[in-house]
């Protein structure tokens, strides 16, 4: 990974988005609204109250395959925005993307009809419940733990090590769904719904993979450091 | 590819039972059963079965029936039969066998089951048998028992199934099995 290719604060935000349009939904979750004109990334971040280094860190993770910031970079960055970012992402996945995909799948299931349609849609509904439970656990147990640590307090009944041990894979079933949809569903008269939903699932699956990476490779080392710093 | 299966059996009761067991099995196409052994050779010539499931009491010379055709001959027995009688058959189905064992025995007997190439992404008959059990919510241990193989073998089949289909979760494989008519709703828990 050549670090020179990573984005810097001097670049225009619009250039970043033109080069990587998929970042648009990420930057709004980071707290940067649209309408940023031709201003630089650093400038826009400042007016939005978002730390530029943190903003770039997340954008770089999303854009460059295989890029994981070093522990030094993580510890040297203001991570106050991390938990709010993760929470907004959860809301975006559970409140917008999954219901949107569900709508498409409902239509496909209705066309399939009968028991196959039911089994097909209940596969997705079960997945959706898993994801919601996964998010809820993080919002109830993990994020409050981090918020406390950031205030210099610690509740020793929970440790981030528990998190890694129980952090289940939430993208795997989406890949299963993709395979089922484009390889094994009987062809339909109107495939538009199928094409749309494949697009949506691919995007969500890619997004979730980065989300997991941010939690496991950025959030966890950061929390471990905070825990150790307070306990020692 | 579906295996064309010809049942040769005098009892309508047994024929109907077999048909019901094999119904919905995408691997087999059950041909019109033959209850009369007299014109069996002509019947085989005309209907080109891959597998002939035959009651051995109906014919005396299975080798002659086969000729040089690539047919799997499976004996359908009601009770203990002399070993000599079973000579010339590729395998044997006992009517007291469970549904899973009957399906599996026929699948194993299918010609063309050997020499699968690595570029073939169709599930083998063995893998399909594991998939069917899996889709019904069975554990690796239960599948191993039902198919009479080791747990290790079941796990290896599961790896291949996932590699070929791209589907990892049991729930996803159940949907796959239904879409391919490998199971019907009555077999779901």
Judged against a pLDDT cut of 60, whether residue A90 lies above it is answered with yes
Full domain range(s) for residue A36: 3-67
Final residue of a domain: which of A19, A38, A67? A67
Nearest to B179 among A126, A127, A184 (CB): A184
Judged against a pLDDT cut of 90, whether residue B36 lies above it is answered with no
A62-87 average pLDDT score:
92
Q: Which residues of B touch A (CB under 8 A)?
A: 165-169, 171-172, 174-176, 178-180, 184-185, 188
Cβ-Cβ contacts under 8 Å, B185 against chain A: 115
Q: Are residues A25 and A57 in the same domain?
A: yes
Contact B175 A119 (CB under 8 A): yes
Q: Which of B162, B163, B167 would best serve as a mutation to test chain A binding (most A beta carbons within 10 A)?
A: B167
pLDDT above 90 coverage of chain B, percent: 40
Q: What is the pLDDT of residues A194-231, one digit of tens each?
A: 999 999 999 999 999 999 999 999 999 999 999 999 88
Residue B91 in tokens: 């395998």
Asked, for residue A72, whether it belongs to a domain, the answer is no
Asked, for residue A140, whether it belongs to a domain, the answer is yes
Asked, for residue A204, whether it belongs to a domain, the answer is yes
Nearest to B167 among A116, A180, A186 (CB): A180
Q: Are residues A50 and A10 in the same domain?
A: yes
Residue A143 in tokens: 């994020």
Rounded CA-CA distance B9/A86 in Å is 67
Confidence of residue B61 (pLDDT cuts 50, 70, 90): confident
Confidence of residue A4 (pLDDT cuts 50, 70, 90): very low
Q: Are residues A50 and A154 in the same domain?
A: no
The neighbouring-strand residues paired with B93 are B76
Residue A46 in tokens: 């400042």
A49 near B CB under 8 A: no
Q: Are residues A134 and A176 in the same domain?
A: yes
Contact B172 A116 (CB under 8 A): no
The neighbouring-strand residues paired with B54 are B8, B75
Q: What pLDDT does residue B117 have?
A: 39
Judged against a pLDDT cut of 60, whether residue B182 lies above it is answered with yes
Cβ-Cβ contacts under 8 Å, B174 against chain A: 119, 123
Report how far apart, in Å, the C-alpha atoms of B121 and of each of A45, A138, B76, B158, B160 are. 50, 39, 32, 14, 9
Final residue of a domain: which of A67, A98, A122? A67
Q: Give the H/E segment covering residue B76.
A: strand B72-77
Asked, for residue A110, whether it belongs to a domain, the answer is yes
Rounded CA-CA distance A89/A30 in Å is 9
This prediction's pTM? 0.66
Q: What is the pLDDT of residues B107-147, one digit of tens each?
A: 888 765 443 434 568 899 999 999 999 998 899 999 999 99
Asked, for residue A77, whether it belongs to a domain, the answer is no
What is the distance of C-alpha B110 from the center of its chain?
7
Chain A / chain B CB contacts < 8 angstroms: 50
Contact A176 B188 (CB under 8 A): no
Q: What pLDDT does residue A168 have?
A: 77
Q: How far is A109 from chain B (nearest CA, A)?
A: 12
Q: Are residues A116 and A196 in the same domain?
A: yes
Q: How far is A123 from chain B (nearest CA, A)?
A: 6
Instruction: Give the strands of the sheet with B72-77, arranged side by side.
Output: B28-30, B3-8, B51-54, B72-77, B91-94
Closest of A76, A72, A45 to residue A59, by C-alpha: A45
Determine the residue of chain B that is closest to A114 in CA distance: B185
What is the distance of C-alpha A6 from the center of its chain?
20
Which domains are delineated in chain B? 3-109 (3.40.50.2300), 125-187 (1.10.10.10)
Q: What pLDDT does residue B122 have?
A: 86
Q: Are residues A54 and A146 in the same domain?
A: no
Contact A120 B175 (CB under 8 A): yes
Rounded CA-CA distance B50/B46 in Å is 12
A187 near B CB under 8 A: no
Contact B178 A116 (CB under 8 A): yes
Confidence of residue A2 (pLDDT cuts 50, 70, 90): very low
Rounded CA-CA distance A141/A160 in Å is 10
* Angle of the B99-109 helix axis to the B125-135 helix axis, nearest 10: 160
Report how far apart, in Å, the C-alpha atoms of A113 and of each of A107, B8, B17, B130 are. 10, 37, 29, 27
Rounded CA-CA distance B14/B125 in Å is 24
Mean pLDDT computed over every residue of chain B: 86
A residues 87-126 lying closer than 8 A (beta carbon) to B: 115-116, 119-120, 123, 126
Final residue of a domain: which of A34, A67, A100? A67
Contact B179 A186 (CB under 8 A): yes
Cβ-Cβ contacts under 8 Å, A126 against chain B: 171
Q: Are residues A130 and A192 in the same domain?
A: yes
Contact A183 B185 (CB under 8 A): no
Closest of A67, A36, A64 to residue A50, by C-alpha: A36
Q: Are residues A160 and A211 in the same domain?
A: yes
Residue A212 in tokens: 């997991």
């Amino acid at each position: 990974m050549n670090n020179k290719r990573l984005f810097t604060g001097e670049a225009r935000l619009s250039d970043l988005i033109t080069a990587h349009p998929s970042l648009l939904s990420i930057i709004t979750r980071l707290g940067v609204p649209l309408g940023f004109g031709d201003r630089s990334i650093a400038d826009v971040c400042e007016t939005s109250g978002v730390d530029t280094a943190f903003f770039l860190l997340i954008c770089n993770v999303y854009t460059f395959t295989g890029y994981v910031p070093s522990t030094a970079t993580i510890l040297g960055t203001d991570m106050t925005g991390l938990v709010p970012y993760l929470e907004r992402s959860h809301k975006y996945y559970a409140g917008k993307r999954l219901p949107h995909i569900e709508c498409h799948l409902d239509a496909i299931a209705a066309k399939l009809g009968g028991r196959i349609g039911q089994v097909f849609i209940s596969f997705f509904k079960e997945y959706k419940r898993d994801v919601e439970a996964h998010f809820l656990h993080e919002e109830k147990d993990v994020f409050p733990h981090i918020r406390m640590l950031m205030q210099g307090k610690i509740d020793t009944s929970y440790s981030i090590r528990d998190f890694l041990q129980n952090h289940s894979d939430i993208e795997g079933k989406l890949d299963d769904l993709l395979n089922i949809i484009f390889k094994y569903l009987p062809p339909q008269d109107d495939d538009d719904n199928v094409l749309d939903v494949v697009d949506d699932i691919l995007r969500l699956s890619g997004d979730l993979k980065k989300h997991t990476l941010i939690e496991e490779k950025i959030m966890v080392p950061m929390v471990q450091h905070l825990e150790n710093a307070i306990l020692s | 590819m579906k295996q064309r299966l010809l049942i040769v059996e005098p009892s309508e009761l047994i024929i109907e039972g077999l048909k019901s067991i094999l119904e919905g099995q995408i691997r087999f196409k059950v041909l019109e059963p033959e209850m009369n052994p007299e014109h069996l050779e002509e019947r085989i010539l005309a209907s080109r079965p891959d597998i002939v499931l035959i009651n051995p009491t109906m014919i005396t010379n299975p080798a002659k029936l086969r000729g040089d055709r690539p047919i799997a001959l499976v004996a359908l027995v009601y009770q203990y039969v002399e070993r000599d009688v079973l000579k010339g058959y590729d395998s044997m189905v006992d009517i007291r066998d469970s549904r899973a064992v009957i399906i599996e025995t026929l699948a194993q007997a299918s010609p063309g089951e050997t020499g699968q190439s690595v570029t073939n992404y169709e599930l083998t008959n063995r893998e399909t048998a594991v998939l069917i059990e899996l889709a019904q919510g069975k554990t690796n241990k239960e599948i191993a028992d039902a198919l009479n193989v080791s747990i290790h073998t079941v796990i290896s089949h599961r790896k291949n199934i996932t590699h070929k289909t791209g589907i990892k979760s049991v729930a996803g494989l159940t949907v796959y099995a239904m879409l391919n008519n490998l199971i019907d709703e009555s077999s779901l828990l």
